[in-house]
Structure 1
Amino acid sequence: MAAGAPRVFVSHLVAVPVFDPGGDQVGRVRDLVAMFRVAGRPPRVLGLVVEVLSRRRIFLPMTRVTGVESGQVITTGVLNVRRFEQRPTERLVLGELLDRRVRLVETGEEVTVLDIAVQQLPARRDWEIDKVFVERGRKGGALRRRGEALTVEWSAVTGFSLEEEGQGAENLVASFERLRPVDLANVLHHLTPKRRAEVAAALDDDRLADVLEELPEDDQVEILGKLAEERAADVLEAMDPDDAADLLSELPEADKERLLTLMRPDDAADVRRLMSYEERTAGGLMTTDPIVLRPDATVADALARVRQQDLSPALAAQVYVCRPPDETPTGKYLGTVHFQRLLRDPPYTLVSSIVDSDLPPLAPDTPLPAITSHLAAYNMVSAPVVDDSGALLGAVTVDDVLDHLLPDDWRETGYHGVEGTGRAG
């Protein structure tokens, strides 16, 4: 390699923005595509997998990359927007090569791949895998420990082309640590089933729950089915009850009941209640965890609840005032206090004195079209669901409504429908 030729470790390219020559961002890097070569030659890097703004993944050939520097990728501006489809001879560097167990040629010692460096060939736009950052002495499972890390030439290791069972995912997960759940879900969706299961196993329960909520149903069922039953129940508990109910409804009856039995009784009760309603009704769409306050709570109490980090913006947009008990199903529903009103009144003000009681709630059997019209008519992002006795059952949020209005495969096809697949060349 010529001195000064650009070398980049692939973990530093995760989610790096891609710009055209005019400085406009066209997407973000999600992976690199490489092709193995014979006689121990370093694999050639064919291009980048770039997620464009519509969440579609496209292929960007390295011949159209003019710069990889300062946390950004610069292209020639010519993009083929057809969906990326991996070919049989290709390998995804991040998705398939990180965390692999390979062997040092010189000693035969088994090592774990932590990162991979790519380098541009001198006087050309071609790139190839240059070096491999590996770790010695790692043990699996509960005995895992850190060992000596070293950087070696590609030719100094062997075993990348072998099929591996039980490949870890620690370093791949670390690479995507800063991604939002919806973006990490898109990453998982494009991995192989084997790699998807390994990554899911490496995520903690809360993170996996957030990601599952953003995945297509087929991926959800596949991942849940590969988890140990006790862990699957833990993940379902960490999901929003309405999303857990939707996922469980896709399972065979025996599997559903077994997982519900393993869940905490309170969580299982919420999910069972949601599953008792028709899917495309207010009862079937609602979450059972809105912000509920008693009439003697203050504006300060309400704002403290709204500030909770794990609340979605739709749920944090209002609080519901109810008589005890204040967990759904509550006592009598008195009305709603909107976030903007909370900002206008003194902290000591009782929420019961500023409640909006004119906004009509939804009945649990309200069909989806009527829910949509209700949210649009009253300019709301969430609406209370109240039963015949006046008890608050939950709240329907606009994100759940949109999820059911969009085509069933919208998570897989992006926001703009299905386009062609493949790529030229």
Structure 2
Amino acid sequence: MVAVNRIYIAQLAGLPVFGPDGEPVGKARDVVISLRIDRQPPRVLGMVVELVTRRRIFVPMLRVTSIEPNAVTLATGSVNLRPFHQRVNEVLVIGELLDARITVDDGATAVVVDAAMELTRTRDWRMVRVAGRERTGRFSLKGPVQVWRWEDVTGLSVNEIAGQPQGAQQLVAVFEGMRAADVAHALHELPPKRRHEVADALDDERLADVVEELSEEDQKGILSHLDEERAADILEAMNPDDAADLLSELAEGTKDRLLELMEPEESEPVRRLLKYSFDTAGGLMTPEPIILTPDATIAEALARVRNPDLTPALASMVFVCRSPSATPTGRYLGCVHIQRLLREPPFDLVAGVLDTDLTYLSPNASLSDVTRYFATYNLVCAPVLDEAEHLLGAVTVDDVLDHLLPDNWRETGLSHA
């Protein structure tokens, strides 16, 4: 028996999915419906479940034995692992139906904020209710959420959903709390129109984080959709090395215009990175590692390491240089590993615990040289210096892996091996 008879789909998103013996399968991400020509409630075909590998698969509703407020249980833990591919006349409720504009039989217009499915006597699930807020103008909504029968609204055919301008506030709310990489994977599965609408709704910082996790083609698609002013703002909010990678794939004219639109202090490190080939240490590095002067204390170094915006690899090492401390720095003095920082008294100076023997990389070191460097020294972060021993940046192991993996690795997800 199914524990709950009427299920609102937006509440389903993100629920853990388990097999019959409690073994974890993944998370519910969406529901697939098959739209009809008439206005009768459409049949619910199944759920899109995201496995721990980030691969999204289709699970038929016949495999679902219970839907609780805090979990979904399947009849079997064995599922078809083929990636989900949307077919003609299929609609994703969360990905495409939310934020759609509808007209109620009384003439009122509204925006969909949720939809509900129910189990029928024939054991089929049907999408029977639409929840929405009435529109009072082109952009404004007012009043409480209202619920209508599916057959009492229009505007939800495949062609109408694909053709109408659509907001993305409800879908963005579903993405709230998800990692940027997971949002990027979800965007890749959406039709281009919907992907662009979500990009328009996200703030610059969040969109920049998501764009960094997209495939090259999806990155270029979103950037070309945005007006050039906002595209430049997104590039400013991205990590300089990611922004440089993206710009290097654009036509020269487009790249130059976007660099001109960026603030000079934001574009300058990106321009420096663009001078190097993408498969060298200079092309792989970030120009913004943790850099301190020799009179900084251990406590100051640990405070910098605790910055939640840093990746674990970048937080594993602090670089100590003479002023200026922005890259390219003054003379490089050495580095301090995070394990050493944790063992030392907080008010000691970083100058007293430097690792001065660690070999550094030149900006022209090849990708294979960088890979061998990490394997040799068992590190996840490495300094990049010029001939005058000025720190130019740091290469992290995730940058290396990104270039060693196949071009489509972000789209194929993780292996089950």
Match of 1:128 among 123, 126, 129: 126
2:182 maps to amino acid: D
Q: CA deviation at 1:219?
A: 0.2
2:275 maps to amino acid: S
Matches of 2:384 and 2:229, distance apart in 1 = 32
The 5 Å alignment of 1:310-349 reads 310-349=309-348
Matches of 2:320 and 2:83, distance apart in 1 = 48
Contact 2:172 2:202 in 1 (8 A): yes
Please give the secondary structure, in 1, of the residue aligned with 2:235.
helix
Give runs of ≥4 in structure 1 deviating > 3 Å: 138-141, 144-148
Corresponding residue of 1:151: 147
Greater alpha carbon shift after TM alignment, 261-270 vs 21-30: 21-30
In the alignment, structure 1 residue 367 sits paired with structure 2 residue 366: yes
Greater alpha carbon shift after TM alignment, 68-77 vs 253-262: 68-77
Contact 1:14 1:176 in 2 (8 A): no
Please give the secondary structure, in 2, of the residue aligned with 1:15.
coil
How large is the Cα RMSD of the aligned pairs?
Answer: 1.6
Q: CA deviation at 1:145?
A: 4.8
Q: Give CA deviations for 1:98-130 in whole Å, capped at 9, x if unaligned.
A: 00011001x211100011111222462x21112
The 5 Å alignment of 1:298-317 reads 298-317=297-316
In the alignment, structure 1 residue 82 sits paired with structure 2 residue 78: no
In the alignment, structure 1 residue 254 sits paired with structure 2 residue 253: yes
In the alignment, structure 1 residue 380 sits paired with structure 2 residue 379: yes
Distance 1:64 1:405, change over 3 A: same
Q: CA deviation at 1:379?
A: 1.2
Please give the secondary structure, in 2, of the residue aligned with 1:47.
strand
Matches of 1:135 and 1:103, distance apart in 2 = 11
The 5 Å alignment of 1:16-415 reads 16-77=15-76, 78-105=78-105, 107-122=106-121, 124=123, 126-141=124-139, 144-161=140-157, 162=160, 163-415=162-414
Matches of 2:3 and 2:27, distance apart in 1 = 26
Distance 1:231 1:323, change over 3 A: same
Identity fraction in percent: 54
2:323 maps to amino acid: P
Matches of 2:214 and 2:252, distance apart in 1 = 22
Corresponding residue of 1:8: 7
1:153 maps to amino acid: R
Contact 2:133 2:141 in 1 (8 A): no
Matches of 2:29 and 2:247, distance apart in 1 = 30
Q: Give CA deviations for 1:218-270 in whole Å, capped at 9, x if unaligned.
A: 00000011111111111100100000001111111111011000101011111
Q: Give CA deviations for 1:12-55 in whole Å, capped at 9, x if unaligned.
A: 11121111112111111121100112432111110011111222
TM-score (norm 1): 0.94
Corresponding residue of 1:421: none
Corresponding residue of 1:423: none
Q: Give CA deviations for 1:190-236 in whole Å, capped at 9, x if unaligned.
A: 00000000001101111101101110000000001111111111110
Matches of 1:117 and 1:371, distance apart in 2 = 53
Matches of 1:373 and 1:22, distance apart in 2 = 45
Distance 1:30 1:4, change over 3 A: closer
2:277 maps to amino acid: E
Contact 1:317 1:338 in 2 (8 A): yes
Matches of 2:202 and 2:372, distance apart in 1 = 39
2:313 maps to amino acid: A
Contact 2:44 2:127 in 1 (8 A): yes
Distance 1:76 1:363, change over 3 A: same
Matches of 1:258 and 1:93, distance apart in 2 = 39
Please give the secondary structure, in 2, of the residue aligned with 1:375.
helix
Contact 2:119 2:125 in 1 (8 A): yes
TM-score (norm 2): 0.96
1:81 maps to amino acid: L
Matches of 1:213 and 1:63, distance apart in 2 = 38
Contact 1:138 1:147 in 2 (8 A): no
Contact 2:4 2:68 in 1 (8 A): no
Matches of 1:176 and 1:63, distance apart in 2 = 27
1:232 maps to amino acid: A
